[in-house]
Structure 1
């Protein structure tokens, strides 16, 4: 059920983003008197799920949810319809219009994506505010992942600063971005009551892309293990464990925090383990037979049960400058990530992902606040990616149109044709590569 909900969120988000992106092209084309032949949500090779012609435009829904398209008369697109292009230009065609009008049509889609991302960030900030855990409130320190341990961090450490920036808001993503994108390698931490500086080697930092792709956080707030969820028909339920049981030991090893319990039980695959717990103030114990993965089927409460969260609230007008700042920072990080990829510091295979990776960005439950935040992020990503100067993408058309405006003449048609074909082949290759990585990851998760 969880995967179904994730898939539905992805489908709804993509439907909104693709429709509005293509509407940006559609609306500007119509404003300049161009004929729009087709407006499709999703691609329709072979057949359409739905189609209806209204006026001069056929509106439809395709079956392949990898994008959408608007077909404008007189424009060489993915269809590569050279026969139509060989005819004499007509006044309503794309190719008959001035270069500046064609340029506005081509940036219409990404403009909508950028404006939508800002708008959604603003609305989420206005309605929900920005909730965060002040780092000082995480009094038990951090619970580290395997990579964090490799970086030199330990359970219970308290992070005070990354480089010269104080670590005020508990968010491991800030550490990841600073190290990967800004190449800041010094952490100021508190360990055992003593302040110290930790320098992380770059060879370890570059592994963060693998963790980010798999949605594995570098560290979490260290929290006690009080059962919030006991999965039905799980080993924990079969052993009589209940919600609100406070787990304190596993195989007589004290586990005061959830990460302590995980480190012990994960080593005991398909075997009996003794779990000590408190229920209604009384200490009890039970034997639980773990799964083949070393799991028992219990989950803890989140940090908000133990620590006070802060919320920054914004007025309606105040939310828009905040949203613009968030969008600017996010897009800046995308530019930095691409530069690191071209420098071969970030590996494409570790950072690229297809439909499955995007779907995993959504939680296995419906949360409207998270949904709209993620849709805002995806809208900015869609706008950014479409602006890349690759033929067949909006950015490729923009590049050729800028050449035409500056040079005072259009690019040679044969050059445009070859570039278009090369762009289509490149995009198909990237699409197959990214989704192939997802499928490979399903069978070889390591």
Structure 2
């Protein structure tokens, strides 16, 4: 069921974004009286799931969910319609339009995706606001992934700065290390300040070990609510209990408990629990998912959670800032793709599907949709033939030089671009398959 929900969310998100992207091309084409022969969600080799015609345009839904397309008359595209291109140019065709109009038609999809992302982030902040935990307010400090401990970090430390960049949230630590070529950490350890060196290529170590959560807020393991009928209920856990050990291993902090439970899936364990001032011993079964069946009290009472609510117009500039911050971070990540470990992490539709939760959460759904919209905008504007950016590159050349690239050159460029994109598609999705079934 979880995989089904993730798949539905991914398909819905991509469908929205593909339709909007192609509408961007369609809109400018119609503004400049350019004929659009087809407008399709998904590709339709050999057959089409659904189609109808209105005016000069055939609208339809294909069966291959790898994107979508608009077929614009008089344009060399993935259809490679050489016969039509061999005929004299007609007034309604793309090739008959001035270069500046063709440029707007080509950037229309990217422009709409970019605007869509900013609009989504605006609405997210208006509807739900935003919240975060300043790391400096963490009463019990932070806990760290094992790769962090290899460079000297200890659970309970609070990272204050990465080089000269001030750390505000736990996500900042990994982000600065990966994207800013950082060399040093300034850490608060008890009442002392400690300097730690970041080894060369530590970012490759993090990527290679697929570190998802480099640091997290540390808080005590206190039971807030026991789920009825769960293993925790059967064992006799009660609200307010503080779990201090499992099978003799310390689990004073919640991240210690979760790690220990995952190591004891489908097993019976012995719990030591403080109930008030009394130490109580309990036995419990651990589920196949590595859980007992209770909700922890969380870190809310041990940290200063910053919560911000915005009015409709107040959220607008904040949404723009969020969009640009995410885009800049994504662009900086591109350098990691050209490293050995980074290339292994390139993912396709499987990786995109993992962005979504196994349960439906509208806030996360729209955030991920905004994120993917930015990614689509950026990837499509890359100067690669067969992408919008490739066409834009040739149009800019035409505008600057006054010379239009020949149809034969455009044909070969389109074929080259399609081969490159197909290779990237196979590589990215091959990585997903390798991780899912082999690794």
The normalised TM-score by structure 2 is 0.91
RMSD: 2.6
| Contact kept? 2:170, 2:217, Cα under 8 Å | no
Q: What secondary structure, in the 3-state scheme, does the structure 1 residue paired with 2:313 have?
A: helix
Shift of 1:435: 0.9
Q: Contact 1:227–1:298 (CA<8 Å) still a contact in 2?
A: no
The worse-fitting range, judged by mean Cα deviation, of 66-75 and 265-274 is: 265-274
**1:31-430 pair list within 5 angstroms:** 31-168=31-168, 170-172=169-171, 174-210=172-208, 216-227=212-223, 239=235, 241=237, 245-268=241-264, 271-278=267-274, 283-290=279-286, 295-298=290-293, 300-301=295-296, 302-304=298-300, 306-342=302-338, 344=339, 347-350=342-345, 352-430=346-424
Cα distance per residue 1:148-186 (max 9 Å; x no partner):
222321111112222223223x232x2222122211221
Distance in 2 between the 1:204 and 1:188 partners? 16
Task: Show the counterpart of 2:437.
Answer: 443
From the superposition, tell whether residues 231 and 76 of structure 1 become closer, same or farther in structure 2 (CA, over 3 Å). farther
Q: Quick check: 1:388–1:396 contact (8 Å CA) kept in 2?
A: yes
Q: Distance in 2 between matches of 1:222 and 1:109?
A: 44
Alpha-carbon separation, structure 1, partners of 2:417 and 2:292? 48
Check conservation: 1:234, 1:296, Cα contact below 8 A: no
SS at match of 2:153: coil
Looking at structure 1, the residues matched to 269 and 275 of structure 2 have their Cα atoms a distance apart, in angstroms, of: 18
SS in 1 for 2:222: strand
Offset of residue 340 of structure 1: 4.5
Alignment CA distance shift 1:215-1:52 (3 Å): farther
SS in structure 2 of the partner of residue 380 of structure 1 = helix
| Residues 18-27 or 111-120, more deviating | 111-120
Q: What is the deviation of 1:104?
A: 0.5
Residue 318 to residue 265, structure 1, CA distance change in 2 (3 Å): closer
Shift of 1:434: 0.6
Gaps of 5+ in 1: none
CA positional deviation for 1:25: 0.3
Equivalent pair of 1:24/1:111 in contact (CA under 8 Å): yes
Work out whether residues 208 and 342 of structure 2, in 8 Å CA contact, stay in contact via their aligned partners in 1: no
1:432 and 1:304 map into 2 onto residues whose CA distance is 45
- Distance (whole Å) between structure 2 residues aligned to residue 245 and residue 38 of structure 1: 64
Of residues 393-402 and 301-310 in structure 1, the stretch that sits farther from structure 2 once superposed is: 301-310
Residues 56/83 of structure 1: CA separation in 2 closer, same or farther (3 Å cut)? same
CA distance in 2, matches of 1:231, 1:64: 43
Counterparts of 1:270 and 1:373, CA distance in 2: 35
Aligned partners of 1:24 and 1:105 also within 8 Å: yes
Q: CA deviation at 1:334?
A: 2.7
The aligned counterpart of 1:8 is 8
**Preserved CA contact (<8 Å) 1:150 1:204:** no
State the 1:194 CA deviation: 1.4
Q: Secondary structure at the match of 2:196?
A: strand
Once residues 363 and 305 of structure 1 are traced to their aligned partners in structure 2, the CA distance between those partners, rounded to angstroms, is: 26
SS in 1 for 2:212: coil
Q: Cα deviations across residues 195-214 of structure 1 (Å, max 9, x unaligned)?
A: 11111113222233346xx5
Contact 2:262-2:291 within 8 A present in 1 as well = no
Uncovered stretches (5+) of structure 2, i.e. residues with no partner: none
* CA distance, structure 1, for counterparts of residue 127 and residue 158 of structure 2: 32
Relative distance call for 1:47 and 1:240 in structure 2 (3 A) is farther
1:225 is paired with a residue whose SS is coil
Q: Is residue 141–residue 155 contact of structure 1 (8 Å, CA) maintained in 2?
A: yes
Q: CA deviation at 1:443?
A: 2.2
Name the count of aligned residue pairs.
Answer: 438
